[in-house]
Amino acid sequence: EADIYQTPRYLVIGTGKKITLECSQTMGHDKMYWYQQDPGMELHLIHYSYGVNSTEKGDLSSESTVSRIRTEHFPLTLESARPSHTSQYLCASGQGWTEAFFGQGTRLTVV
């Protein structure tokens, strides 16, 4: 069973609010990822991290930011939410030849 957790599972928030989506894993993986998925569409990598103090932008441009202060924690922040940020956000971790594990996702709705 995957030991990777995302909170909250669902979030409805007003335009202009600052939000942080949490992601934690207990597997000691160095590599962590954030994907964005619009309904019925494919996953797009928006951020990834090689380890503590390492963050990289993914293939899809995103107004969100991430941080990696601890190995197990990889939060994603939106400074000012907009309706265009409405989507599902999926966090994952994995390392080298190991499986990648995904959290259950956070479904964000900005009204």
Partner 1 sequence: KQEVTQIPAALSVPEGENLVLNCSFTDSAIYNLQWFRQDPGKGLTSLLLIQSSQREQTSGRLNASLDKSSGRSTLYIAASQPGDSATYLCAVKQGGSEKLVFGKGTKLTVNP
- Choosing from 22, 45, 65, 86, the residue that interacts with partner 1 (CB under 8 A) is 45
Residue number with CB closer to partner 1 (29 or 85): 29
- Region for residue 46 given its phi and psi (left: phi exceeds 0; alpha: psi -120 to 50; beta: otherwise): alpha
Nearer to partner 1, 6 or 25 (CB): 6
**Of the candidates 92, 76, 72, which has an alpha carbon nearest to the alpha carbon of residue 32?**
92
User: What is the distance in angstroms between the CA of the first residue and the CA of the last residue of the chain?
Assistant: 35
105 near partner 1, judged by CB under 8 A: yes
Site string for partner 1, 54-93 (x = CB under 8 A): ----xx----------------------------x-x-x-
- Using CB under 8 A, which residues numbered 11 to 40 contact partner 1? 31, 33, 35
Where are the strands (E) in the chain, listed by range? 4-7, 10-13, 19-25, 31-37, 44-51, 54-57, 65-66, 76-78, 87-94, 101-102, 106-110
Residue ranges that bind partner 1, judged by CB under 8 A: 2, 6, 31, 33, 35, 41-43, 45, 48, 50, 58-59, 88, 90, 92, 94-105, 107
